[in-house]
Structure 1
Amino acid sequence: MVSKGVDYFTFSSNDYFSVNVTGPKVGGVSGPSNNFRHQSFQIDSGNISGLLSFDGILVWQALQNGAVLLGGSQEISSLTGNLGGGSMANMLKTPSTVTCGYAVSYGFYDAGPGVKPLTDQDQLYVYVTDSHANWMGTLAEAMPALSAAPLNSFVLPGAHDAGMFTLSTVTGILAGPDAKKLLDGLSILSVFGTIVGDLTMAQAPRAIANLALTQKDTIPTMLDLGIRYFDYRPGTLYPKIASFNPGVRYHQHSMIPGYAYVAFLQDVIAWLDTHPTEIVVVSANTQGFSDAAMKPTAAQVQQDLDQAIANVKPASPLVIGDKTALTQSYAALVASHTRLIFLNQIEGETSKYDSYDDGAYATVDPATIVGALAGMNAAGQKGHDYTVLQMQGTATSAGKAVIAAAVTSLSDASSPLLSTKGRFDAVTNPWLLENVPKNLSNDQLVVLLNDFADNCMTQTAIELTRARVAQRA
């Protein structure tokens, strides 16, 4: 007999929600008592009917009172570990779903044979919660003390590298005359190495997705999931490929362009126009840019905002805030229509106290991330405008073997960043719930930042906001 292992992580926000994960003759239903637990089983040939049959089906279902809300499946070979037919073979086709009654986020990682230090076990996470599309307003209504407290009292769930959820700009460049310039530019970056320079045009989209995409949901979906802070890095295209769309700013991951900045702003403004109780915070910054020429000026970023507002023409008034809004109450901000706040760092406009460190976060071990989070304290917050606690690791910085595997993979579900998602979440969320109220001041805004932003992180932020307000009372 042969088998392929599957690790899975589930989260249910209430007793009426549960998640059923099964393989051939294995698995079962997990409820809230299984939250943050590492569970696993084997797709075992001994459990698969049929002579010389090796392909088993991994199935998940999100349930409410036993009724199926949403589900997915994937055929996995117990012999080779290769994927067959199913709904999870492409990372970018595993979107979150949000309705008025529930939200479901999920993801699947195809481990293949496993390349050290990455796991050789396939990974699945499924999180089901109530809808958090209007969580700030709902929580403020239920807690008058929160409504009257400064915005600094909130813990906001945030999207790391928020504009890196699409390959549309990359595929446009690869289809044109600047394709080789893009690959040549990637090959000289130390983080990617010369392996990227050997890519064929056919290999390039998958390799770039594995190396650079940190999200897989659109901006409106992230907002519906409850995400209220966006780490956005708007810059013009890398000089060698700038002729593709001169002067237009995209989210930049090193030199890989994601979603256009004006389009992002339009999405946020249009969403805010239909969600009058919610506040969105944006950090426009230039972290990690490959070339200084890509950096915009504060004036250009303002021009993009003005253009986005003019394009959307919101029906309701929208006042733009800065860091001074953090000391104003939630109620006052909503009453004054100050519901889009910028904590930019392009020209040093704000200062953040951030857990991120290049060395600590280049890891596949969640204990290393917890160590970085544990180093954050109230004394360190002094002199900064707000605090950021980063939950994701950077597996792509954990060794050349990881880069090589990401570049040469034949699977569209093989992102190294996705390989650690469920395992890290299962450790960081409970740690944050226990320690943020003890370790940090309740008088400074706290942001939880993560790759593949999800509803479980929003649930954690809601619980922490409740705890902080209770401590302030």
Structure 2
Amino acid sequence: MPSKGVHVFTYIAVQGISIEISVPKQTRTIDQVNQFWNGALEVETRNIDSFFNKSGRFTFKVFKNKTNLVTEQWIEVNAITGNASGGTMDTIAQTPAILKDNIIITYGFYEAGPGHDLLPSRHQCYIAITPNYADWMGKLVPPNSPLESKPFRRFVLPSAHDVGMNSMQSSEAVLKKIGGAIVSTMVHDNKLMSEITDAVSGPAIALIAPNIIHSLAITQKDSLFDMLAIGARYFEFRPAHCHKAIIPSKALPDRLYFQHSAIPGMAYEVFLKDVVSFLVARPTEIVVVQLRWDGVPGECARPSDQEQREYLDTALKTANGALLAGNIDDLRNKSIGQLRKEKKRLIMLVNVDSLSTYTDEGNASLNGDSIVAAFPKVLPNEQVCRGRNFVNIQCQATAANIPKAIVYSVLEAGTTTSCILATKGICDSKTLPWVRDNALRTCGSETLVVVMNDFLDGATVDVGVQLSRQRLGK
């Protein structure tokens, strides 16, 4: 009988929490703590009583102490066509982190449709439940405790990859003003655009421009405030002015924006303002920001040193002296207590070298195997990390570098079909256990470590927090 599968990935880091997942006439409960669990359920036509409507509901419920319902999320899955729609997970934008009862639930849903080529044939759902980590540094290293004398570089910092691409707001403003024809300029990748134009006519590209941008560039779905509450403490930001072909339209104010190629995302001044506001409200926390311009075309003017200082000074003024900017020397040489005492809890870096696990070939994966295979090659032992500014372990898969995956996402894109989202659960179920089990051995405890991921989730953060605890105990 026809059926459609849903592959579910879970991680629980809070005692007394359980997750109930269900489809018609099939229910499973997961309550193991600190384990990466995954399994598949089948929406089967034989289990759907209606003769004409063969859609069945996939649901997950989160319970506290077995009986207290924290949240319930669901979507309708057609067992015959494979389509998923309706409910509370119908769009990526409908799945923000849930902050409730001092826990955080991060989750996402990918609609596989009938399945194409390399992409998953089952729908994908990931769920992670962790404590509210808005103050995780303060709880791990309380003020005036002996641990404050430990070097800041002992921390393992969770990171949201491409933090500025958490919404379509800026891109939609450009498309509305100029039209979809500008998408080829924004993508700035002739090879990729040729793959798309081979499959669809030029005029039609303008009609699906939002799908192209969404599939290529949207890597986060939570607000910056929520990412910080989830536990992110390291961000890479690529601030630049919009492409010179966009500026004359005045679709956006001529300011600095996060640029993904030439696709504009979060405004830099908003990013800085929100980070400063968070740090002022959370006096034990420390955030590292690295400015870089990888992949940003020359037509997007980069800020001068003076312009960078002006943006930063404007943001810091709102702290009324409660916060100062640190630098790479502070990151490498000062203790946690020193940084707090000196108010240098916003460490600003510009094009600082690091040891990164990322490669175009290795991270261009749909199942995470090549990413995990690269980890021990880049990080064979702690000797290779010594003397480095920091180590960046990049867990995110760049499915956007696989043309076939992009073409499907673009041509048949819906509100839950991002090929970037398609890789999330399966890759995390392999990469994060490796990081948890090997980072202490391969990176040692004397070099700052960053763990970076798309669609920042609680499992990524919890791995970073637990590794920080171990390294601080050394």
Same fold (TM over 0.5): yes
Question: Is 1:59 matched up with 2:62?
Answer: no
**1:353 paired residue number:** 355
The one-letter amino acid paired with 1:120 is S
Amino acid at match of 1:94: T
For 2:461, the aligned partner's letter is T
- Show CA shifts across 1:57-93 (max 9, x none): 0101122112111221000100101123211111122
2:437 aligned residue: 434
Runs of 5+ in structure 1 lacking a partner?
none
The answer to whether residue 287 in structure 2 is matched with residue 276 in structure 1 is no
Selected match of 1:385 from 383, 389, 395: 389
Query: Structure 1 pair 199/151, CA: closer, same or farther in 2 (3 Å)?
Result: farther
Cα deviation, residue 332, structure 1 = 1.5
Does the Cα contact within 8 Å between 1:13 and 1:129 map onto a contact in 2?
yes
Match of 2:420 in 1: 417
Distance in 2 (CA, whole Å) between partners of 1:379 and 1:293 is 39
Structure 1 residues 35 and 342, CA, compared in 2 at 3 Å: closer, same or farther? Answer: same
1:320-335 paired onto structure 2 within 5 Å: 320-326=325-331, 327-335=333-341
Q: Distance in 1 between matches of 2:147 and 2:203?
A: 55
Q: Distance in 2 between matches of 1:125 and 1:73?
A: 13
Matching residue of 1:344: 350
Residue 263 (1) aligns with residue 270 (2): yes
Amino acid aligned to 2:266 = Y
CA 1:367–1:186: 2 relative to 1, 3 Å? closer
2:234–2:289 Cα contact (<8 Å) kept: yes
C-alpha spacing 1:383/1:295, structure 2 compared with 1 (3 Å): farther
Deviation, 1:164, is 0.3
Percent of aligned pairs sharing the same letter: 31
| C-alpha RMSD of the superposition | 1.9
Which one of the candidate residues 395, 398, 401 is aligned to 1:394?
398
The structural deviation recorded for 1:210 is 1.6
Query: Aligned match of 1:223 in 183, 208, 228?
Result: 228
Partner of 2:94: 93
Question: Which residue of the partner structure matches residue 127 of structure 1?
Answer: 128
1:97-116 deviation per Cα after TM superposition (whole angstroms, max 9, x unaligned): 22461100000000112122
2:324 aligns with: 319
Structure 1 counterpart of 2:38: 38
Question: Structure 2: which 5+ residue stretches go unaligned?
Answer: none
Q: Return the offset for 1:199.
A: 4.0
Q: Secondary structure at the match of 2:178?
A: coil
Q: Distance in 2 between matches of 1:276 and 1:199?
A: 51
Change over 3 Å in CA distance of 1:34–1:6 after alignment to 2:
farther
* Contact 2:262 2:300 (C-alpha < 8 Å) held by counterparts: no
Counterparts of 1:202 and 1:32, CA distance in 2: 46
Change (3 A) 1:186 1:198: farther
8 Å Cα contact 2:184/2:193 also seen in 1: no
Partner Cα separation in structure 1 for residue 464 and residue 175 of structure 2: 39
Please say if residues 11 and 33 of structure 2, whose CA atoms lie closer than 8 Å, have aligned partners that are also in contact: no
- What is the number of equivalent residue pairs in this alignment? 464
Read off the aligned partner of 1:390 and give its amino acid letter.
Answer: Q
TM-fit CA distance, 1:280 = 0.8
2:15–2:33 CA contact under 8 A, matched in 1: no
Offset from partner CA, 1:215-258 (integer Å, 9 cap, x none): 00010000010110111111111221122346411111111111
Q: CA deviation at 1:328?
A: 1.0
- Counterpart of 1:170? 171
Pick one of 245, 248, 251 that aligns with 1:240: 245
Report if the CA contact (8 A) 2:386-2:446 is conserved: no
Are the counterparts in 2 of residues 237 and 257 from structure 1 also a CA contact under 8 Å?
Answer: yes
User: What amino acid maps onto 2:39 in structure 1?
Assistant: Q
The 3 A distance-change label for structure 1 pair 199 and 316 is farther
Kindly state the Cα deviation for residue 202 of structure 1 after the two structures are TM-superposed.
Answer: 4.3
1:212 counterpart = 2:213:
no
Q: What CA distance in whole angstroms lies between the structure 1 residues aligned with 2:305 and 2:393?
A: 26
Is the CA contact 1:187–1:193 (under 8 Å) kept in the aligned structure 2? no
Q: Shift of residue 52 of structure 1?
A: 3.0
- Does the aligned pair in 1 maintain the 2:243–2:299 contact within 8 Å? no
Equivalent-residue separation in structure 2 for 1:214 and 1:161 (angstroms): 6
Distance 2:306 2:450 in 1: 26
Is the 2:143–2:284 Cα contact (8 Å) retained in structure 1?
A: no
Aligned to 1:156: 157
Over 3 Å counting, the alpha-carbon distance change for 1:145 and 1:88 in structure 2 is same
Give the TM-score taking structure 2 as reference length.
0.93
Give the superposition deviation at 1:33.
Answer: 5.4
Aligned to 1:114: 115
